[in-house]
Amino acid sequence: MNKPGITALTTITLLVPLALQAQTDRSWTADQRAIVDLIQRTQVSNNAGDVEAWVALFADDAVYMAPGAPAVTTRRGLREVAAAGFRHRADIAIDPVEIVVTGPWAYARTRVGGTVTVHPTGEVVAVDVKQIVIYRRTESGAWRIARLISNSND
């Protein structure tokens, strides 16, 4: 690797922890931090194309509402949507804009940005989406996605 390459890698390596630190510096409550963790796992499972990890983030009776597509209301449907969607390679970031918790319910407003490399053409498509996600606390205390609805900024 040439020196500019090393410099770029070093810069990125330094910036990533700084970005994460900035995110954790916000004064989230324990519930909000749990939801931030869920958002981060949503991002990781999307980028890894991990169907089961993604589906596990949803409550059993969740409804997933993507624009221009039928609502998904079953775990089987979630697996099918994920299996189809994850053929394309995502490189996205999901940033929480706000998280509000009230009893067993919470909602988050998030912004999704990045790119998706379309299978099989290799076309790279920009992603600029805004979402509202409703979360429900399960009996075990874990938060799960109950409703997810989004639309595009483009």
Q: Does residue 93 interact with other proteins by CB under 8 A?
A: no
Nearest CA among 137, 92, 136 for reference residue 115: 92
Phi, psi of 118 (to 5 degrees): -75, 135
Q: Does residue 122 interact with other proteins by CB under 8 A?
A: no
Site for other proteins in 1-60 (CB under 8 A): none
**Scanning the structure block, which residue is given the tokens 């979630």?**
78
Nearer to other proteins, 48 or 100 (CB): 100
Nearer to other proteins, 57 or 106 (CB): 106
The rounded distance, in Å, linking the Cα atoms of 24 and 6 is: 28
Q: Does residue 107 interact with other proteins by CB under 8 A?
A: yes
Nearer to other proteins, 53 or 116 (CB): 116
CB 57 within 8 A of CB 145: yes
